[in-house]
Structure 1
Amino acid sequence: MKKVSSKMIISLLTLTAVFAFTFFIFSPDEAAAAWKKAGITPSGDLKDSGIYTDLDNIIYFIMAIGGFWVIACLIFAGMRLSAAQGNPQARTQGFIGLAMSALGLFIIVKAYDIAGWVAGFGD
């Protein structure tokens, strides 16, 4: 079991005190007034906030990174397969690598549908 240091306990208590102090000092009305003073006017509607556009861009970015990863996996599995030279275990590793990269590509392609399905819970 990991021993908890006194330094960690003190930092946790300090953060808890600061967090609790902000609730006692600032009321929600004052926070709303500060937001209005800063020019931030939340409408309460998520569709107007632009969060769906941001999440859409994040999904495209993750899909792009995943696409490059699949290409790298295909190259690596192809190298394993071509270097097998009659070794059945190495050949099996190459074929499994190709199959897993194909499975990864399918998951990446379906990531957008999965994200849309999860986003539909709020409607």
Structure 2
Amino acid sequence: MKKSMKKLFPFVALTAVFAFSLLLFSPEEALAAWKKSGISPQGDLKNSKIYTDLANIVYFITAVGGFWVIGCLLFAGMRLSSAQGGNPQARTQGFIGILMAGLGIFIIVKATTIAGWFAGFGS
């Protein structure tokens, strides 16, 4: 357990530093810092079609996730039906698989809502 925590610590520390830096700087200050270092935006965000591309990516990931959930439901159902002979562990694995597939459906639906919430930042 200690070795895995040592490997995870740099990632957690960098994530904390990044999140803290987002709290300190406003977008205007960040843009000014970019211009000071020679980085300039290359176009207008409203006319760049980035939101359509991001929407298409979200739809694609939702579709892939939907097929994945269907596969998980099929696998968990097969696991549950094979446990008819009295194997309680396989039966429990089947029920947990079906429950996790339901949780996956919920996360996929809410991910679209969260993506829409993030897209509202640019408008």
User: What band does the TM-score fall into relative to the shorter chain?
Assistant: 0.5 to 0.7
* Residues paired across the two proteins, number: 85
Structure with bigger gyration radius: 1
Partner residue of 2:54?
Answer: 55
Q: Structure 1 counterpart of 2:53, which letter?
A: D
Partner residue of 1:5?
Answer: none
Q: Structure 2 counterpart of 1:115, which letter?
A: A
Partner residue of 2:83?
Answer: 84
Say which SS state the counterpart of residue 122 (structure 1) adopts.
coil
**What does residue range 18-33 of structure 1 map to in structure 2 within 5 Å?**
none
Q: Structure 2 counterpart of 1:61, which letter?
A: F
Mapped to 2, the partners of 1:78 and 1:72 lie a distance apart of 10
- What is the percentage of aligned positions where both structures have the same residue? 71
Mapped to 2, the partners of 1:109 and 1:68 lie a distance apart of 13
Mapped to 2, the partners of 1:48 and 1:117 lie a distance apart of 20
Aligned-pair Cα RMSD in Å = 2.1
TM (norm. structure 1) is 0.62
Partner residue of 1:94?
Answer: 94
State the Cα deviation string for residues 36-61 of structure 1 (Å, max 9, x = none). xxxxx83x2x2211000000000000
